[in-house]
Structure 1
Amino acid sequence: MPAPSQSSFSHAWRALRHPNFRLFFAGQSISLIGTWMTRIATAWLVYQLTHSALLLGTVSFVGQIPTFILAPLAGVLVDRVDRRMVLLWTQALAMLQSLILAWLTLTHRITISEVLALSAFQGVINAFDMPGRQSFMVKMVEDRTDLSNAIAINSSMVNLARLIGPSLAGLVIAATNEGWCFLIDGISYIAVIVSLLLMRVKADEVKRATASMAAQLREGWDYVSTFVPVRTILLLFALVSLMGMPYVVLMPVFAAQVLHGGPHTLGFLMGGAGVGALVSALSLVLRKSVRGLLKMIPIAAAIFGVGLVAFGLSRVMWLSMALMVIVGFGMMQGLTASNTIIQTLVPEDKRGRLMSYYTAAFVGMAPFGSLLAGSMAHWIGAPRTVMVTGTCCVAGSAWFWTQMKTLRKGIRPIYEQLGIVPARPSKLVEEQAGN
């Protein structure tokens, strides 16, 4: 069935003209609210059980290290099998994990050991879910020119949920306990599972690989390590993930000790970051092309880092919330710009493997950062920790900016081939002579 004409959709939402992406959008919009409720509830539960910044970092480490270890192998698997089936399995297992967490919490049997075990289980699920989800995006959007818009809309959806979920979690925790957040999350997975089952995916999308998994793993690594634009973007992304992203695990400490609040304070802080991220995502939705996004990557890293440094200095609630808006904006601008450029550059036959390295850079480095942030906060305090990590993000931004000329040189031939930028006059003359 052909997609509706683009005139029936505004330019900003043109990716929604694809039926499969509309189904994905509807299902994920519901499920992601539950996911963000669980993230906040887990952090608050751990803090209530232990009152330890170090254990907050440890739980995050245990929950994310499986992704770092397994993501490259998961990327090879994603390139060899039906990506929709991968997502159906990961969503079903994630639902099971949330329901077990809800049962243990609501029956007052939950301990820190069980939180660690279930967090590790979720990390294994994420190792397969994230590269599967990212590489499946291109299958839901049949027109390649709408891919960047689909990624931006997806980011908007994630951040609208990030705005609603933490605030809702704070209210639910204050009124009852964390277990109800986990239960809501478990039920919300039904929406995305149904949306995946309703999709009409072409039967010839899965191609059986002739090379071994080891050979495909090596092929993906060779591409990442030798193609300068992707390698440089992933290096900065890994640094920001290592040093900057783990600020989230310290938010319960800021809410309780620095700002002298409760779960509602935590919800407001995370909601502030969600507002900034949503504004960023919407600004990217309005873009007509991937052109110009490269320079946004170092700018976003600098905004993110400066916001963290200033947040570490703040002791006033309204100012901290405002700074969280800046932090959220910088974080999402860099994340979405990086994702869009990599998805545009990557060959289709390597998409799963390349997105697994993207996952390793984004999620895989975070466990080390969480452990580092928790340890630093234990010794020098949470405010000084985010100031140090924010400074590292600014330094990474400065380094990336020095690589811009080389990156543009490597990216331009692919953009010309895809018709994103016009071919240089000399190249046109050569092509005409060849004809």
Structure 2
Amino acid sequence: MGAGVAPESGGLRALMADSAFRRLWLIGAVTGIMRWLDVVVAGIYVFDVTGSPTWVAAVTFIRAVPMIVGVMFGAMAARLPLGGLMRVGIGTVALSYTILAVLAVFDALAVWHVAIGVWIVGTYWSSENSVRRTMMCAVAGLANTGTAISFDWATINALRLAGPFLGGVLYDAYGMAAPCALGVVCFAAALFLALGMTSGSAPALSGRRRLWEDIADSLAIARRSAAIKGVLGVSICLNFFGFPYSSMIPVIGKDVLRATPADVGFLSSMEGLGAMVGAVTLTAFVRPSWFGRVFMIGSFGVAAGAIAFGLSHIYALSAVALVVAGAGMSWFASMQSTQVLAQTPADRRSGIMGVLTTTIGIGQLGALPIGWLAAQLTAPTAVVIYGSCAVVTLAVCAWRWPAMWRPG
């Protein structure tokens, strides 16, 4: 890795002048295409094969399961070369997409193959905060962390605008083989970029410590900071009640809006449009003193967009609702990582980011019951109920931990 951007040299131009930052950013960009594409494509495929919203939600849940042990990834990342961990993860995902593509070409693909594939992909994404984003933070320096993370999310969300739509079009025209082949290309390109990097590592911890001691230390840091506790609490609530609406997009798109797979992909890409706009505004206009308030506004924006999506029976209005949810998601996600990183010592960042990933994973448990609720009632009703619960729990978090959103 490069020497990093000097703390006083702030700004996006200085970040992009650093070759290590550029490579890390590009790796996030080429893999980010698939981050959102495979969620939509897997959901459409599973719903086509099973006709069950419960199975669609189950596959989404399987993808999120590795995040529950994110604290383990964080502790491991704190003691192993981050560059090597990143290369192993990227290579494994590329191999997984290759196998799925071959199975699809020979018409041998089954739902259980897709479930294993999304679990492997989910394992890679569960290491994202502890590995690639921690490396970006080390390169950028603390003063530029907010700009670096916001720009990274802006890029990923810009690709999110195209990814789901492209996935829907490819699935509509060629079935599962084409999206999986695209995954092979994207992760092969990322592996090439990663192979060209000097292996970075997290700052070394003092002394020889056991893995469980690193985990306990990370949890202690979280307990001592009211702001970090608030961020973790909001992360659990929003991931449990807010984000599961996205697993119902293929179901609502096909059952309620009578959309084709391409139209479902386009609808899902509206989240990306909102997220891109939200991330650009963060990078260009938001000051550090606003980070906490932006974090909470974004969280409530996700819940409001989800409720509006569940209430809509018109394609265009559903698209607008997803734009709102996407913008909120961008503000929430960027400020989530930024606030945690900014309040954590440099040699503990991988560990605390692992704790953050675990709270995200715990929240993802909500993806399973929303499928059951949709089967018992309807998918739109389930989404509205979940969004309403998100509003209530977020309000409780804002009241309980005001340090996370009040400046100073």
Structure 1-normalised TM-score?
A: 0.87
Kept in 1, the 8 Å contact 2:4–2:138? The answer is: no
| 2:231 is the counterpart of 1:216 | no
Superposition pairs for residues 91-130 of structure 1, below 5 Å?
A: 91-130=90-129
Q: Which residue of 2 aligns with 1:420?
A: none
Contact 2:203 2:347 in 1 (8 A): no
Q: How many percent of aligned residue pairs carry the same amino acid?
A: 20
Aligned equivalents of 1:212, 1:193: Cα separation in 2: 31
Partners of 1:100 and 1:35 lie apart in 2 by: 18
1:421 aligns with: none
- Superposed, which structure 2 residues align to 1:33-112 within 5 Å? 33-68=33-68, 70-112=69-111
Question: Partners in 2 of 1:147 and 1:194 — Cα distance?
Answer: 25
On the 8 A contact 2:202/2:347 being kept in 1, the answer is no
Cα distance in 1 for partners of 2:109, 2:186 equals: 22
| Corresponding letter in the other structure for 2:61 | F
Distance in 2 (alpha carbons) for counterparts of 1:172 and 1:117: 21
Any residues of structure 2 matched to 1:227-306 within 5 Å, and which?
Answer: 227-287=225-285, 289-306=287-304
Counterpart CA distance in 2 for 1:83 and 1:23 is 14
Equivalence for 2:385: 388
RMSD of equivalent CA atoms: 2.5
Of residues 32-41 and 87-96 in structure 1, the stretch that sits farther from structure 2 once superposed is 32-41
> In 2, are the aligned partners of 1:41 and 1:182 still within 8 Å (CA)?
no
Q: Structure 1 residues 133, 3: CA separation in 2 closer, same or farther (over 3 Å shift)? A: closer
Q: Is the 8 A contact 2:39 2:60 kept in 1?
A: no
In structure 2, the CA distance between the partners of 1:199 and 1:287, relative to structure 1 (3 Å rule), is farther
Compared CA separation, residues 120 and 150, structure 1 to 2 (3 A): same
Give the superposition deviation at 1:27. 3.2
Q: Distance in 2 between matches of 1:306 and 1:203?
A: 40
The answer to whether the 8 Å contact 2:306/2:383 transfers is: yes
Q: What letter corresponds to residue 46 of structure 1 in structure 2?
A: V
Q: Which residue of 1 aligns with 2:19?
A: 19
Measure how far apart 1:365 and its partner are: 2.1
Deviation at 1:5, TM superposition (A): 9.9
- Residues 16-50 of structure 1 show CA distances to partners (whole Å, capped at 9, x for unaligned) of 23221112222332222133332222111111111
Change (3 A) 1:10 1:73: closer
SS at 2:193 equivalent? helix
Q: Return the alpha-carbon distance in structure 1 between the equivalents of residues 202 and 356 of structure 2.
A: 26
Contact 2:82-2:200 within 8 A present in 1 as well: no
For residues 179 and 363 of structure 1, do their structure 2 counterparts lie closer, same or farther at Cα, with a shift above 3 Å needed?
farther
Alignment of 1:145-224 (within 5 A): 145-200=143-198, 206=204, 209-224=207-222
Q: Give the gaps of 5 or more residues in structure 1.
A: 413-435
The letter of the residue matching 2:165 is S
Q: Does the 8 A contact of 1:377 with 1:384 survive in 2?
A: yes
What is the alpha-carbon distance in structure 2 between the residues aligned to residue 172 and residue 274 of structure 1? 18
- What amino acid is the match of 1:17? A
Distance 1:25 1:117 in 2: 28
Partner of 2:311: 313
TM-score (norm 2): 0.93
Shift of the 405–360 alpha-carbon distance from structure 1 to 2, 3 Å rule, reads closer
Q: Identify which range, 82-91 or 304-313, moves more after superposition.
A: 304-313
Secondary structure at the residue paired with 1:291?
helix
> Aligned partner of 2:368: which letter?
L
Shift, 1:188, TM fit: 0.8
* C-alpha contact 2:93 2:121 (8 A) present in aligned 1: yes
State which of 322, 325, 333 in structure 2 corresponds to 1:324: 322
> Per the alignment, do residues 306 and 53 of structure 1 end up closer, same or farther by CA in structure 2, a change over 3 Å counting?
same
Compute the displacement of 1:53 (Å). Answer: 0.2
Q: Which has the greater radius of gyration? A: 1
Q: CA deviation at 1:402?
A: 2.1
* 2:82 aligned partner, one-letter code: R
Over 6 Å off, 4+ runs: 1-7
Cα displacement (A) at 1:4: 8.9
On the 8 A contact 2:306/2:387 being kept in 1, the answer is: yes
1:133 maps to: 132
Q: How many pairs are equivalent? A: 407
Query: For the Cα contact (< 8 Å) 2:78–2:203, is it kept in 1?
Result: no
The more displaced of 311-320 and 201-210 is: 201-210
Contact 1:309–1:390, Cα closer than 8 Å, also in 2: yes
How far apart, in 1, do the equivalents of 2:130 and 2:391 lie?
Answer: 28
